Amino acid sequence: MLPIPFNRPSLQTPFGAPWDDLSLEVLRAFFAQAGDETLTWEAKGGIVHKEQVLKAASAFGNSLLGGLVLGASQAKKGGPWSPDRSTFPDEPTTWVSTCLMNDAVRPRPSSDA
């Protein structure tokens, strides 16, 4: 799973830990009981598209508590989430940075991969 925070790293996340302390273990614990997406977080799995990243970046652009996780999917609505084998056209960190470059979203949100 690749968490993409759209806020400042030292702030609390919707996932139960500050961005600086966010780990795969924290995400797995969160997603095991998360249920459906909320106004403060989204998760995308499978084949992830640039448009999904841009839409989430725009949606969370004015939020201090918003984040996108790439590489997690939900077997059924309301059920738990789990890591999946998401595919990206390039190395994930480079690909997300490229999605947000060239004024695709202004101001450019912070991200951490």
pLDDT tens over the chain, length 113 residues: 656 655 555 678 889 888 888 888 998 899 888 889 988 899 998 888 888 888 888 888 777 778 888 889 988 888 888 888 888 888 888 888 888 876 666 665 565 65
pTM passes above 0.75 = no
C-alpha of 83 from chain center: 12
Joined together, the tokens standing for residue 84 give 């999946």
